[in-house]
Structure 1
Amino acid sequence: MAQSGKAASVSARKKEAEASAAFKRQFLIRMIIVLAGGTFLDGYILGIVGPVSAKMTAELGISAFWEGLIAAGALFGILLGSPLGGWAGDKFGRKPLFMLDMGLFVVASLMQFFVTSPAQLLIVRLMMGVAIGAEYSVGWPLLSEFSPSRMRGRLMGLTLIAWYAGFMAAFVVGYLLNQYTDLGWRTILGSSTFIAVALFIGRFGMPESPRWLWSKGRKKEAREIAHRYLESAAEVADMEKETVHATGSFKKLFSRQYWRATVFVSMFFFCVVTPYFAIATFADSVLQTFGLGGGLAGGVGLSAVALAGSIATVVLIDKIGRRVLTVPPQWIITLILAVLGLWADAPGAVVLGLFLAFSFFNAGCGSLTCIYPGEVFPTEIRGMGTGFAAAFSRIGAGMGTFLMPWAMSNLGPSITILIAAGIAAVGAAISQWLAPETKGKSLSETASGFSH
């Protein structure tokens, strides 16, 4: 009887452990869905503008200046929302901002149905950008703080796959609705509201980050959440290495310990997204300028190849590491853009092939822009560091999107693409110098890498 009771006890403990492991897996899947949904939305609201820009421009009497400004509006909103959200997330916690930013997005997205002037549309898209900026600065740190070290790169990379999927889905949805239905451009732009509402509902009941709680000295709450949601005892032990009552500030981003991390993630982010946003947002007109057919096939082709590049990085990142997927692709991008800029009369097939190759490699190394910030900063400034990098990158993305129509008209495609090649070269050089290898390391290890 004693042996039977002992066997039953062991069996019960085994079932409890299995149930706990299953619960943790389910939670992680849910978190990835609601976080990847946020980046999907970002890609969606940026990609949906291109297909309806002609109708929107005609009805509202939008000039080339306002067209570029509205297209870049969400990007400039991110410029404000990212550092503000990062500061608030580090000060008040990840959970409140996680709900607040999506609530703001729902409201702003809904307002798109009712705009009647270019100025109103710009304001609405600025608000959406603020919400997305806050999402970056709280979502990526939150996912990094819950992800197991062994698969953190893959899980965080999924959010960039979602971004490219969102951009491509928006282009397809916008194009089809614009061409084959009588829906107005306001309704097509406002379609993002349905996604935002679903994500907002899906976020109810999500826990606070245990690492953030620990850094604020709330040890009991941190341990309870950590044991309930983190994958292993090793992850919990790593959390307990965090500095308790640590205070963060923007000044710390430029301290002796972390200025290299700040310079690297900010410049890397800036130089990867600036050429992409400029080219992808106006993919249709860019391809036509180079003598190629635009339309659905051209825009979707660039986005589909970009999605493939992001998927390739996510598959490989926890196997071969970060640096090899960061540095060489940027030099390849520089070369591709230089050839496009210098070979003005290249055959159409060559131009298309080069643009597709650019999309693949840019998206591949671009996936690291959501991974590195969550790894190289400590918990007390992880939100601010991520927010600052995202905001800095959107200066370039916003300028590129805003100036692209003007540059193509006034400087010509060759000079415009050569400028993009120069920006890519700067990013490659900085990454060659500063990009760390963080594969398989715990967050306490990755965050201390730049501090020595």
Structure 2
Amino acid sequence: MSKTIANGASLPTHGSRSLSTKHRRFLAKLTLLISGGMFIDGFILGSIGIVMPAITHDLALSTTWQGLIGASALIGIFIGGPLGGWLADKVGRRPMFTVDLAIFLVGSVAQFFVVEAWQLFLVRVLMGIAIGADYSIGWPLLAEFSPARLRGKLLAVLELAWYVGYLVSYALGWALTVSSATGWHVILGLSTLPTVIVFLMRLGTPESPRWLISRGRHAEAKRVAAEHMTHEEQRDLHAPSSVGRQGFGRLFSRDYLKATVFVSTFWVCNVTPYFAIGAFAPIVLRQLGLKEGLTGGLVLNGFAVLGTALSVILIERVGRRKLAIPPFFISTVALICVALLSHVSTTVVMVCFFTFSLVNAVSTTLCGVYPGEVFPTEIRGIGVGFATAVSRVGAALGTFLLPVAMSSLGIAYTMLIAAAICLVGGIVSQVLAPETRGKLLSEASSPSGN
């Protein structure tokens, strides 16, 4: 039995009925609140590269400090992902959902007042910790409230918000850099405004009924679920769980080792080439013969937003695997063409780079979907947090190693290395990627589902 939803997707319904107006409004608001955190994450990562020359001049940064400040938010996310996930599994999604954004707000405001390199580094590490925690709190919360037939689309919207935040930040930095009208303190501190808005809107968010059930608080879970979940999802709350112990160890148990390996590898192979190429897009494009490297980088990020939007539209139509696997192999071919044909024409280079940016974003969108689906409630927070931390290792390595590789190996070999990473991601996904389209959350996260 299937049902056609608003975008035309034909999906299994598991007997569920159309969402009520009240449920639709709640899901829309919750998606907006969590997307706000993702937007802010993309915003703070997109702005730092643009203003780094100004920061370097004003604070007299050494190359070491440039690297540390550039990677500071990634370092914080590496810490905050597992820590926030562990706390979300222990004390609940609801309290952490506002605490983490309050911490980020403090750091965002502090950026206006830093006068030393170490101060900026510590502030952005703190902000990164808060954002990393937000990944492992917000994604599980949305997954646990969403009906099966919409879960993938709603989770994919979160990645779209990240790319939009990155693009907006990059565009603002580009415009303000060209005009030289605004200092770097202001550009970095612009994240304060959306943070205040999202923080105030998050107050009063209900606790996840699935988490309440996992803690034995059945009466409270039943009351919240009756108000905010469909009948089918309410019944799914009581599906038996195979999880015994909680924490990191469970991620590497026989039941969930494959899911942990897949999600972590999938995420790393998506973001490592993206962060490397995206962070240094102007430099890379100039070395490939494009004079307007900064403008080319802006267009490159625009294609990434388009790719993510395509995933949001298609994910509940074609399923997860068809969006997760082919983009890796297309990216591999595109980057090999850049490496081998860069001397032919700049048009070839631009077409290949735009193709990479588009299809890489299509598969990267699944990084916001799979982690929330393949782990059970008891370890969903720590599972998302661990995958977040591992992905940021890849992002940091890509950011640090790309300029080194370009100077020592040349642009062609550097692009071949990026292509090899995409190829590994495609092979691993072909073997391990599950199809969770239309499955209830208890089915998608069961050991047999993985």
Does the pair score TM above 0.5?
Answer: yes
Of the structure 1 ranges 281-290 and 432-441, higher mean CA displacement relative to structure 2 is found in: 281-290
Which residues in structure 2 correspond to 1:160-309 (within 5 Å)?
160-180=159-179, 182-230=181-229, 232-243=230-241, 247-294=245-292, 296-309=294-307
Aligned to 2:291, the other structure's residue is in SS state coil
**TM-score of the superposition, structure 1-length normalised?**
0.93
Deviation track 1:36-92 (CA, whole Å, cap 9, x = no partner) reads 011111110011112212211111222333323222211111111001111110111
Residue equivalent to 1:382: 380
Question: Do structure 1's residue 429 and structure 2's residue 427 form an aligned pair?
Answer: yes
Alignment of 1:60-75 (within 5 A): 60-75=59-74
Is the aligned partner of 1:157 residue 2:168? Answer: no
The 3 A distance-change label for structure 1 pair 269 and 245 is closer
User: CA–CA distance in 2 between the matches of 1:95 and 1:407?
Assistant: 44
- Amino acid paired to 1:357: T
CA contact (8 A) 1:71 1:402 kept: no
Cα displacement string for residues 151-189 of structure 1 (whole angstroms, at most 9, x for unaligned residues): 111111001111110010001111222332532111111
TM-score when normalising by structure 2: 0.93
- The code of the aligned residue for 1:201 comes to L
Task: Check whether the contact 1:269–1:369 (CA below 8 A) recurs between aligned residues.
Answer: yes
Q: CA deviation at 1:401?
A: 1.2
Whole-Å separation in 2 of the counterparts to 1:260 and 1:244: 16
What letter is aligned with 2:269?
A: C
d(CA) in 2 for partners of 1:219, 1:243 = 15
- Alpha-carbon contact 1:57-1:67 (below 8 Å) kept: yes
22-31 vs 265-274, greater mean Cα deviation: 22-31
Q: Match of 1:56? A: 55
User: What is the DSSP-based 3-state SS (H/G/I as helix, E as strand, rest coil) of the residue aligned with 1:448?
Assistant: coil
More divergent stretch after superposition (397-406 vs 292-301): 292-301
Partner Cα separation in structure 2 for residue 61 and residue 96 of structure 1:
41
Q: Alpha-carbon deviation of 1:339?
A: 2.0
SS of structure 2 residue aligned to 1:248: coil
Q: Which residue number corresponds to residue 372 of structure 1?
A: 370
Whole-angstrom distance in 2 between the partners of 1:428 and 1:346: 28
Given residue 409 of structure 2, which amino acid in structure 1 is its aligned partner? L
Change in CA separation of 1:295 and 1:202 when aligned onto 2, cut-off 3 Å: farther
What is the CA deviation profile of residues 359-402 of structure 1, one whole-angstrom value per residue up to 9, with x for unaligned ones?
Answer: 00000000000100111110000011111111001001011112
State the match for 1:9 in structure 2: none
- CA distance in 1 between counterparts of 2:195 and 2:245 reads 33
Instruction: Indicate how the Cα distance of structure 1 residues 450 and 104 shifts in structure 2: closer, same or farther if over 3 A, else same.
Output: farther
Question: Residue 445 of structure 2 aligns to a residue in which SS?
Answer: helix
Aligned AA (1:147): S
Could you tell me which residue of structure 2 aligns to residue 337 of structure 1? 335
Larger Rg: 1
State the Cα deviation string for residues 125-151 of structure 1 (Å, max 9, x = none): 111111110000111111100111111
- Residue 12 of structure 1 corresponds to none
Structure 1 409/65 Cα, relative in aligned 2: closer, same or farther at 3 Å? farther
Rounded to whole Å, the distance in 1 between the matches of 2:88 and 2:144 is: 13
Structure 2 CA distance for partners of 1:244 and 1:227, relative to 1, 3 Å: farther
Match of 2:416 in 1: 418
CA shift, 1:411, in A, is 2.5
CA–CA separation in structure 1 for the residues paired with 2:331 and 2:242: 43
Paired residue type of 2:256: Y
Deviations 1:307-350 (A, max 9, x none): 11111111011011000111111111111112222334131011
Q: Check conservation: 1:261, 1:450, Cα contact below 8 A.
A: no
**2:10 corresponds to which residue?**
none
Sequence identity percentage: 48
Check if 1:83 corresponds to 2:58.
Answer: no
Distance in 1 between the 2:119 and 2:26 partners?
Answer: 39
Deviations 1:12-51 (A, max 9, x none): xxxxxx9x92222211111111100111111100111122
Distance 2:67 2:348 in 1: 28
SS at match of 2:20: helix
* SS of aligned partner of 1:363: helix
Q: 1:317 aligns with which of 312, 315, 318?
A: 315
Contact kept in structure 2, 1:134 and 1:387, CA below 8 Å: yes
The alignment partner of 2:289 has SS state of coil
Separation in 1 of the partners of 2:308 and 2:99?
Answer: 29
Range 211-220 or range 236-245, more displaced: 236-245
CA RMSD of aligned residues (A): 1.7
> Contact conserved, 2:108 with 2:192, CA < 8 A, in 1?
yes
Match of 1:7 in 2: none
Post-superposition shift, 1:266? Answer: 0.4
Aligned twin of 1:22: 21
Q: What is the distance in 1 between the residues matched to 2:92 and 2:245? A: 13
SS across alignment from 1:114 = coil
By percentage of residues, which structure has more helix?
1
Q: Structure 2: 5+ residue runs without aligned partners? A: 1-16
CA distances 1:428-450 after superposition (whole Å, capped 9, x unpaired): 11101100111000001001154
Q: 1:113 aligns to what SS in structure 2?
A: coil
Greater Cα shift, 109-118 or 154-163: 109-118
CA contact (8 A) 2:328 2:360 kept: yes
Q: Is contact 1:376–1:450 with CA below 8 Å preserved after alignment?
A: no
Gap runs ≥5 in structure 1: 1-17
Alpha carbons of structure 1 residues 139 and 216: separation in structure 2 relative to 1, 3 Å: same
